[in-house]
Structure 1
Amino acid sequence: MAIIYKATLSPSKLELIADYLPKQPWFIQDGSPELIGAYRFDDPDGEVGLETHVVAAGERVYHVPLSYRGYELAGAGEWLIGTMDHSVLGKRWVYDACADPVYVKALATAILTGQEEATQFVDGEPEPRPSTVTVKGSGKLDGGVPALSASAPVTGSGVTIIDAGELRLKVTRVLDVAADASANTAAAPELHGDLILNGQWAGLEEPVELASVVRN
């Protein structure tokens, strides 16, 4: 469960993303970034916000995972996107989530176990807020997720690779919204090949692959 606060952010998330995207090797400048939607994962310890944005710029659609922290993440200065002032939570450090071990664990868990996005509640409101992007992992793992080790992400050709001990995760940065991902939703109970995270949002006819995982 993710708690969303009624807060003022300075700068806004989209402002941070708009500054971050042109610096990435997988981004092609073609119009101003516009937010399509977002989804969240839970941090079991409740300390790190995990929110992934789907952003359009021109004819391309980008997948931008962010993590929000109330303190600096040691050794991750290279992946710091910026800081923001949150009117409820105070200063927040915003990172490319692919370098955040909390996100890596949450992503792997979602893919391997068939988990969906976190249910979102606005603080003080009893009913959940619908997610603007829905996701679901293709795995069916009943047991625990393998232990993961921290590893610096490596980006190239529109994807980011994260070697995390027993698992290798691939996060798609430039989304192929024309592809039919529905054929990939069935998965074996064990990791005989790629297991994936599919996503969908309003106006998208078929789900699109957002990330995948295989054993190293």
Structure 2
Amino acid sequence: MTAVRQDAWSPDDDLILAEVTLRHIREGSTQLAAFEEVGERIGRTSAACGFRWNSCVRKRYEDAIQIAKQQRQKRNYLKKQTIVATPHVSSLAVFEADERGFKHDTSSLEEGLSVDAVIRFLRGWKSTYQDLTRQIKLFEKELKDKDEELYRLRDQNERLSKEVNNVQTDYRAVNDDYKTLIQIMDRARRLTVLTNEEEAKPRFKMDANGNLERIE
């Protein structure tokens, strides 16, 4: 036989929770007020009722929640039309009614903030702060690595630029030497051609009788 926990929720408890919560939604009240009313009726805390509603019961009444919201909108619309149609209702009375509702919601919210809820919130915030601190340190390390890499690349770029300049200077010097050598070789070739042509021309001399005589 399966043992039943004493604090287990019965189907009747879930039904009461659903009916009261839907009524508060339909009437434009807060869910916190609904959880407090249910807690008084079934002997549970409002926090327990809220947890039960959000974790289990709400999923079974999605359609009913939408209908309740539509009814709330229609109710608010009719209320506004009634206020417009009755000019003798002063705006001060409407303001006082809204202020009373706001004070009621605020007092209900303050009562619902238990010490355990505050502790859970602070623990969650501490965990979030620690995660953010770790991420910041990680980003700082990555930024430092990027700065070092950037410095290394700049140094390498400067060194390569100097090498390129030196190579260009050497290339211009070699090119100038090459052009000079070509010019020297061209002049030597032309001098050789002229010398050969002069040697190939026949030479003559005149003898005692006035005749030309070829000289070998």
TM category (shorter chain) comes to under 0.3
Please state which structure has a larger fraction of its residues in helix.
2
TM-score (norm 2): 0.20
- Which has more radius of gyration? 2
Please state which structure has a larger fraction of its residues in strand.
1
TM-score (norm 1): 0.20
Q: Which has the higher contact order (CA 8 A, sep 6+)?
A: 1
